[in-house]
């Protein structure tokens, strides 16, 4: 696009990206900037040299990455920061096609980088380099394309192909989602289980601002169809006829027509079309504006009735008239200069009108904004308020919509286990299979009782939490089924008056028949029962009128009522009936007829401010019809007052979907003049209306824009933060509906449950996080209970907050469920102390809730004590439960208790009593016919037999259990139990030296583990197989196969350290075969492990890998590479000044040549030049003596006897200080001296 070169080479300007205004040149634009994104400036005046280069380069917009000035520092932009520096785009440089995203893990309390977490996140990101499906999926959801991962630099490269992608990503960046998503991706469960650390940690994200700005500009210019603002006026008469005349700051829709100096433009002010100079246009910088203006075109031009305000503070309270004014109609307020006028609702700067009330006459009417002085506002608050408390409360109730009870019930479901009906397998829990060491920080949290403290007051350096003043119960009744009910005030009396539609010919002429409905509709002001007449769902068709079969019958009835109202001069009844008739016409798309009714209603009004909802609805409906029918003059005559009624009155009641067109028109005008206050109010109205209509796909961009605007204002005015609207709960709700789980979780992480009664609570958030985390978390560990696997550690903080909230609210059932869920979550991750802690609390709460809950919680607590090596406490609990069951006839529960009691008694060493209780448990299971419980009881008998060294008896019980499991059609839990029993059975065969049978059971266990697709189970079985084929039944080829499977599992688990260790072991196995092919495979494994250890910064393992690679090259006779790898091993050790490691490596490198058949003399260099000096420096006499002996032996082999004698003599002298009966090295030195003397034919010396 060569015309872009003219744009850049002929003028100097600023291109404000994601800014609210157009720079200093626009006095009408708001100074408000978004909270998180900086204003991005590029396209500045180039130098003459650059201009010449530009004329020769025709690839400006080709997408080739431009070369940055090495001396310039890129401007960075990040989440939660503001930068305002300018960056320039030199002429002739191409638009970048990639952008760099850098992340930092910071401590909120210390305001600095957390080095440990930063390194952990870097390593996790590096582990994802080989398998970046998760990262790609994340950034795809964030509307970006992953180019590559640069883990060493804590950086990722992203690209965007469309303006929509760059717009959505920048929005997510602004709202802080990107950092939260990376947090979910990069941190381990141990991090999420440490609630204090989670609250103190944040990931900050920065991007290259210069690249982002130019990338957006490039996409915009390549598209060649966008909206721009005029930076100069073009009104001269000498302009060509086809040229468009426009004013400075005017909005123009431009289109590339292939001309290098001009675009085709259409003025949004006049609707006129013509050519515009490229140099006079500046593209609208915010992608939201471009998207909105393209997707919501208007049939009417800009009205000029809305101005850009001098201030973005909305007025409330009272103001003073600055001049006399006499109203031109009943709806305009008359007043004198100096009169005090009370603002009804809000006074939005830039609007022509607001609704005011004279304090002297008590009259209400429209007041021209220019007639009052802004400086005299007596604001009710000291902060810029855009919404009333009632508006915010009803708005924040939208996502609830019954979900509070839903998620509370889900928490109770997650808390349930099968422990009351399914026996437990002795020693089989996630703790046994996947032991983890709990962090000291988590244990300290539990000791300090942090989890059960009340809500802590939010501070500036912590995540938002619930207010201390929150006292409402987290479990609320189900909300109304429609969003509309949430946004409208409820009437005092739910029983609305009902009127029977009587179309009897005789009754139609009887006025008495219509008296009830006319009396009802003729009330002077608004009453709550009128709500059904004005709402969006036309509820009056069912709640107010009945007895009609078609709407035509109702219209006929209302027409007759209208006539009787006119005859009786019942003004309000006449107005409201016309309004209802107009609404019915709109419903049937009869807009011309509806317009007649609405106009009749409005003309009959003379005191409409007594029913403000009706007045607002009439103006909005008329404006919508005028706009739809392109009646420009009539539309312009009502739009000014319609905007005041829509934007200035809180809690507007929508009556028609057509009102959306009016609101969109107002939003377009607010964008055109840069009126931030009006943009906030209109975005809010758009979001409310879309939510009521259930158009969730369409509402999201406006809700995001509203959140950005509110956050921007809060960041610039600290007073606004307490009264600002937080739309994150609504956004969270919408992201969930659009199935954006990463973004939904990020939004849930950031929003603070409100103190407003009836809106979302921490219980809702905890349930929401649990429900959504399962969509993105790969459940790689499966245990005996499927519910455990479904509770990710990521939810720990939210569950803890919900628990504190439930405790304050006295919701015992929810509190018990949360304790049970937390206990199961900690059990899953092997943190038994924490699991016991919460299980104890669940028992206490269970006793207060009910017998069943108390029994289940007690069983769980006893099982936790057993797993935590506290069998005494477990048996005590089980004996109490057994005693309580004597009065019941529950066979299954009795068997469950006997089984757990037996496990505890076995742990105490009471074998006989354990066997008796196992027998009771087995009999109870057989009595109920429960095969799974029978199999578990038999398996536990087998474990008891193994404990007593009765391997033959153990085999008998295990085999019976296996047969029962194969007869079962159980789920994954039963399959996992079978895998464990097969492993035990295989071990009994090993103990009885039955290798063939043990081989069969091991491989059968692996086959079942593969069927369940449990990675951790497969890993556990494969480890056993590797040990079996290496130690019990040596078979190198089989061992290699299973090691390779282990490597594959480690890769899927993203455990790079495990992968590196397994690759080293696999390399040793290949090397043991010692063929040309196997040596190459061993070298390949070694190199892979080398790369891993280098990235993990494991110095010792890295040096060992270099050394191993050198050895392999030596064995493969590739001598030109041997020296390089061996030197690299030594340098790796010397770099951190680890002299002990360096000394060992020098000796081992020498051993490569010493033990080899080629170049043996090279060992001398490493022994004498490296190992010996370091041994002397470190006073490692044993090492020094050993190396001298090797040197002596080497020289003998090389037939250098004089040198051999020299080393042997040094060894002999050194051995004088080292002679010990336990040390053979000194005697070896003297023996070698004797040998050398004999070889040299020095018999005396030898003697």
Question: What single-letter DSSP state applies at residue 981?
Answer: H
Please tell me the predicted confidence (pLDDT) of residue 716: 74
The stretch 126-149 carries a mean pLDDT of 89
pTM of the model: 0.81
CA 482, CA 487: separation in Å to the nearest integer? Answer: 10
Contact by Cβ (8 Å): 680, 703: no
Instruction: Tell me how far the alpha carbon of residue 241 is from its chain's centroid.
Output: 55
For residue 773, what pLDDT band results from cuts at 50, 70 and 90?
Answer: confident
Please tell me the predicted confidence (pLDDT) of residue 1182: 86
pLDDT at 123 over 50: yes
Please tell me the predicted confidence (pLDDT) of residue 776: 74
Range in 2-11, 352-361, 913-922, 985-994 the model is least confident about = 2-11
For residue 676, what pLDDT band results from cuts at 50, 70 and 90?
Answer: confident
Please tell me the predicted confidence (pLDDT) of residue 1129: 92
- The 10s digit of each residue's pLDDT in 208-227 is 877 888 888 888 888 888 99
Q: What's the mean pLDDT when you consider all of the chain?
A: 80
- The 10s digit of each residue's pLDDT in 627-654 is 999 898 999 999 999 999 998 888 888 9
For residue 27, what pLDDT band results from cuts at 50, 70 and 90?
Answer: very low
More reliable by pLDDT, 504 or 452: 504
For residue 285, what pLDDT band results from cuts at 50, 70 and 90?
Answer: confident
CA 812, CA 814: separation in Å to the nearest integer? Answer: 6
For residue 778, what pLDDT band results from cuts at 50, 70 and 90?
Answer: low
Task: Give the containing element (helix H, strand E) for 948.
Answer: none
**Bridging pattern class, strands 499-500 and 545-546:** parallel
Please tell me the predicted confidence (pLDDT) of residue 495: 61
More reliable by pLDDT, 91 or 395: 395
Range in 395-399, 557-561, 909-913 the model is least confident about = 395-399
| Helix 389-396 with 676-693: angle, nearest 10 deg | 40
Task: Give the containing element (helix H, strand E) for 188.
Answer: none
In order of 364, 966, 982, the CA distances from 1004 in angstroms are 86, 12, 8
- The 10s digit of each residue's pLDDT in 1126-1165 is 999 999 988 888 889 999 999 898 888 888 888 888 888 8
Looking at the DSSP bridge assignments, the partners of residue 234 are: 246
CA 783, CA 774: separation in Å to the nearest integer? Answer: 16
More reliable by pLDDT, 462 or 141: 141
For residue 1100, what pLDDT band results from cuts at 50, 70 and 90?
Answer: very high
Asked whether the CA dihedral 205, 210, 213, 219 is positive or negative, the reply is negative
How large a percentage of the chain has pLDDT more than 70?
79
pLDDT at 769 over 60: yes
For residue 606, what pLDDT band results from cuts at 50, 70 and 90?
Answer: confident
Please tell me the predicted confidence (pLDDT) of residue 66: 31
Please tell me the predicted confidence (pLDDT) of residue 615: 94
Contact by Cβ (8 Å): 246, 233: yes
Please tell me the predicted confidence (pLDDT) of residue 932: 94
**Phi-psi region for residue 547, left (φ > 0), alpha (ψ -120 to 50) or beta?**
left
Question: What single-letter DSSP state applies at residue 225?
Answer: E
The stretch 890-898 carries a mean pLDDT of 93
CA 4, CA 224: separation in Å to the nearest integer? Answer: 10
For residue 1113, what pLDDT band results from cuts at 50, 70 and 90?
Answer: very high
**Structure tokens given for 1143:** 């000394």
**Structure tokens given for 223:** 């598209």
CA 862, CA 866: separation in Å to the nearest integer? Answer: 6
For residue 1035, what pLDDT band results from cuts at 50, 70 and 90?
Answer: very high
For residue 47, what pLDDT band results from cuts at 50, 70 and 90?
Answer: very low
pLDDT at 36 over 70: no
Please tell me the predicted confidence (pLDDT) of residue 19: 39
The stretch 260-274 carries a mean pLDDT of 87
**Phi-psi region for residue 1179, left (φ > 0), alpha (ψ -120 to 50) or beta?**
left
Please tell me the predicted confidence (pLDDT) of residue 1235: 58
Neighbours of 1036 (CB within 10 A): 14
Please tell me the predicted confidence (pLDDT) of residue 408: 83
The stretch 1227-1238 carries a mean pLDDT of 53
CA 803, CA 1014: separation in Å to the nearest integer? Answer: 31
For residue 53, what pLDDT band results from cuts at 50, 70 and 90?
Answer: very low
For residue 514, what pLDDT band results from cuts at 50, 70 and 90?
Answer: confident
For residue 751, what pLDDT band results from cuts at 50, 70 and 90?
Answer: confident
pLDDT at 13 over 90: no
Please tell me the predicted confidence (pLDDT) of residue 752: 81
H helices present in 301-402, as ranges: 389-396
CA 1056, CA 1061: separation in Å to the nearest integer? Answer: 9
Range in 334-343, 1106-1115, 1207-1216 the model is least confident about = 1207-1216
CA 1045, CA 116: separation in Å to the nearest integer? Answer: 31
CA 320, CA 378: separation in Å to the nearest integer? Answer: 9
For residue 32, what pLDDT band results from cuts at 50, 70 and 90?
Answer: very low
For the CA atoms of the chain, what is the radius of gyration? 40
Burial class (CB in 10 A: 0-12, 13-18, 19+), 238: exposed
How large a percentage of the chain has pLDDT more than 90?
44
Neighbours of 647 (CB within 10 A): 27
The stretch 866-887 carries a mean pLDDT of 92
The stretch 956-981 carries a mean pLDDT of 90
Please tell me the predicted confidence (pLDDT) of residue 1019: 94
Question: What single-letter DSSP state applies at residue 314?
Answer: P
Please tell me the predicted confidence (pLDDT) of residue 641: 93
Instruction: Tell me how far the alpha carbon of residue 945 is from its chain's centroid.
Output: 50
**Bridging pattern class, strands 353-358 and 340-343:** antiparallel
In order of 140, 627, 694, 697, the CA distances from 737 in angstroms are 17, 32, 11, 9
CA 1227, CA 92: separation in Å to the nearest integer? Answer: 81
The backbone torsions φ and ψ at residue 283, rounded to the nearest 5 degrees and listed phi first, read -55, 140
Which residues have CB under 8 Å from 67's CB, separation 6+?
Answer: 93
H helices present in 950-994, as ranges: 951-967, 972-991
């Amino acid at each position: 696009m060569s015309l872009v070169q003219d744009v850049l080479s002929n003028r100097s300007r600023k291109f404000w990206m994601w800014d609210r205004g157009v720079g200093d040149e626009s006095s009408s634009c708001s100074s408000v900037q978004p909270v998180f994104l900086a204003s991005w400036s590029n396209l500045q005046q180039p130098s003459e040299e650059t201009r010449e280069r530009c004329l020769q380069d025709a690839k400006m917009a080709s997408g080739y990455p431009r070369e940055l000035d090495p001396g310039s520092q890129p401007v960075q932009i990040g989440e939660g920061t503001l930068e305002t520096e300018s960056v320039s785009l030199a002429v002739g440089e191409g638009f970048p096609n990639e952008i760099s995203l850098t992340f930092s893990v910071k401590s909120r309390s210390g305001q600095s980088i957390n080095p440990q977490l930063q390194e952990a996140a870097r390593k996790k990101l590096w582990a994802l380099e080989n398998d970046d499906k998760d990262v790609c999926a994340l950034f795809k959801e964030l509307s970006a394309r992953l180019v590559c991962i640069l883990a060493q630099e804590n950086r990722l490269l992203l690209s965007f192909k469309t303006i929509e992608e760059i717009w959505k990503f920048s929005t997510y960046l602004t709202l802080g989602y990107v950092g939260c998503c990376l947090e979910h991706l990069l941190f381990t469960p141990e991090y999420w289980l440490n609630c204090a650390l989670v609250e103190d940690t944040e990931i900050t994200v920065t991007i290259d601002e210069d690249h982002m700005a130019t990338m957006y500009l490039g996409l915009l210019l390549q598209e060649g169809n966008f909206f721009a603002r005029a930076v100069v006026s073009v009104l001269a008469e000498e302009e060509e006829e086809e040229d468009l005349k426009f004013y400075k700051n005017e909005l123009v829709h431009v289109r590339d027509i292939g001309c290098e100096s001009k675009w085709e433009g259409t003025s949004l002010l006049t609707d006129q079309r013509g050519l515009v100079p490229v140099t006079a246009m500046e593209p609208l910088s915010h992608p939201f504006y471009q998207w909105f203006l393209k997707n919501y075109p208007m049939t009417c031009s800009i009205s000029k009735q809305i101005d850009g305000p001098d201030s973005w503070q909305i007025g409330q309270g009272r103001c003073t008239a600055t001049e006399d004014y006499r109203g031109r109609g009943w709806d305009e307020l008359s007043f004198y200069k100096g009169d005090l006028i009370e603002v009804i609702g809000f006074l939005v700067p830039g609007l022509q009108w607001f609704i005011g009330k004279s304090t002297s006459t008590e009259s209400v009417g429209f007041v021209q904004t220019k007639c009052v002085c802004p400086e005299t506002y007596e604001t009710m608050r000291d902060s810029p308020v855009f919404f009333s408390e009632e508006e915010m409360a009803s708005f924040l109730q939208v996502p609830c919509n019954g979900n509070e009870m839903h998620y509370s019930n889900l928490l109770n479901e997650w808390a349930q286990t099968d422990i009351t009906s399914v026996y437990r397998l002795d020693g089989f829990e996630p703790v046994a299979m996947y032991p983890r060491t709990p962090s000291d920080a988590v244990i300290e949290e539990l000791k300090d009782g942090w989890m059960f403290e009340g809500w802590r007051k939010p501070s500036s350096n912590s995540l938002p939490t619930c207010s201390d003043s929150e006292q409402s119960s987290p479990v609320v009744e189900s909300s109304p089924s429609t969003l509309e009910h949430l946004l409208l005030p409820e009437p005092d009396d739910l029983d609305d008056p009902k009127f029977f539609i009587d179309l009897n010919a005789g009754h139609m002429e009887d006025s008495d028949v219509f008296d009830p409905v006319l009396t009802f509709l003729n009330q002077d002001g608004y009453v709550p029962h009128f709500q059904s007449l004005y709402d969006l769902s036309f509820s009056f068709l069912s709640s107010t009128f009945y007895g009609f079969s078609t709407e035509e019958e109702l219209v006929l009835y209302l027409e007759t009522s209208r006539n009787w109202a006119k005859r009786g001069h019942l003004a309000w009844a006449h107005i409201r009936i016309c309004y209802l008739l107009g609404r019915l016409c709109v419903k049937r798309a009869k807009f011309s007829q509806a317009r007649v009714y609405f106009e009749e209603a409005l003309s009959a009004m003379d005191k409409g401010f007594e029913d403000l909802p009706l007045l607002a609805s009439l103006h909005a409906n008329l404006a919508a019809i005028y706009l739809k029918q392109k009646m420009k003059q009539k539309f312009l005559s009502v739009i000014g007052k319609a905007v005041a009624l829509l934007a200035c009155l809180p809690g507007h009641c929508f009556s028609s979907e057509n009102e959306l067109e009016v609101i969109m028109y107002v939003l377009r005008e607010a964008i055109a003049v840069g009126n931030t206050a009006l943009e906030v109010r209109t975005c809010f109205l758009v979001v409310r209306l879309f939510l009521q209509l259930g158009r969730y796909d369409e509402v999201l961009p406006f809700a995001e824009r509203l959140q950005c605007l509110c956050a921007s204002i809060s960041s610039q005015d600290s007073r606004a933060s307490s009264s600002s609207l937080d739309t994150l709960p609504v956004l969270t709700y919408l992201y969930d509906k659009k199935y954006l789980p990463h973004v939904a979780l990020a939004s849930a992480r950031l929003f603070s449950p409100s103190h407003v009664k009836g809106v979302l609570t921490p219980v809702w958030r905890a349930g929401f996080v649990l429900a959504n985390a399962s969509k993105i978390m790969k459940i790689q560990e499966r245990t005996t209970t499927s519910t455990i696997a479904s509770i990710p550690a990521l939810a720990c903080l939210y569950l803890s907050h919900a628990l504190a909230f439930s405790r304050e609210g006295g919701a015992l059932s929810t509190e018990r469920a949360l304790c049970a869920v937390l206990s199961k979550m900690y059990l899953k991750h092997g943190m038994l102390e924490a699991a016991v802690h919460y299980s104890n609390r669940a028992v206490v709460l269970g006793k207060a809730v009910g017998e069943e809950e108390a029994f289940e919680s007690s069983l769980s607590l006893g099982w936790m004590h057993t797993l935590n090596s506290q069998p005494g406490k477990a048996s005590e609990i089980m004996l109490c439960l057994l005693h309580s069951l004597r009065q019941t006839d529950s066979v299954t529960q009795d068997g469950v208790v006997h089984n757990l009691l037996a496990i505890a008694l076995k742990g105490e060493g009471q074998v006989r009593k354990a066997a008796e209780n196992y027998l009771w448990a087995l009999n109870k299971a057989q009595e109920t016919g429960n095969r799974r419980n029978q199999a578990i009881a038999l398996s536990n008998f087998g474990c008891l037999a193994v404990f007593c060294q009765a391997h033959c008896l153990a085999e008998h019980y295990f085999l019976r259990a296996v047969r029962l499991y194969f007869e079962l059609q159980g789920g994954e839990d039963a399959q996992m139990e079978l895998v464990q029993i097969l492993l035990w059975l295989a071990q009994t065969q090993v103990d009885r030296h039955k290798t063939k049978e043990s081989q069969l059971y091991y491989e059968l266990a692996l086959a079942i583990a593969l069927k369940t697709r449990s990675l951790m189970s497969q890993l556990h079985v494969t480890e056993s197989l590797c040990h079996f084929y290496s130690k019990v039944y040596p078979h190198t080829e089989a061992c290699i196969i299973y090691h390779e499977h282990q490597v594959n599992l480690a890769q899927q688990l993203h455990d790079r350290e495990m992968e590196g260790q397994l690759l080293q072991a696999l390399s040793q196995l290949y090397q043991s075969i010692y063929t040309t092919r196997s040596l190459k495979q061993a070298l390949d494994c070694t190199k892979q492990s080398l790369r891993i250890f280098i990235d993990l910064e494991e110095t010792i393992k890295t040096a060992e890998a270099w050394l191993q690679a050198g050895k392999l090259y030596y064995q493969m006779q590739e001598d030109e590479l041997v020296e390089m790898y061996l030197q690299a091993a030594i340098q790796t050790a010397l770099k951190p000044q680890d002299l002990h490691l360096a000394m060992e490596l020098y000796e081992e490198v020498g051993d490569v040549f010493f033990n080899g058949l080629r170049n043996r003399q090279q060992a001398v260099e490493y022994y004498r030049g490296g190992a010996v000096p370091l041994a002397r420096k470190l006073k490692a006499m044993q090492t020094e003596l050993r190396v001298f002996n090797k040197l002596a032996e080497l020289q003998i082999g090389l037939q250098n006897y004089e040198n051999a004698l020299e080393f042997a003599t040094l060894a002999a002298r050194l051995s004088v200080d080292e002679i010990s009966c336990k040390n053979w090295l000194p005697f070896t030195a003297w023996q070698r001296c004797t040998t050398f003397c004999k070889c040299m034919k020095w018999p005396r010396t030898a003697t």
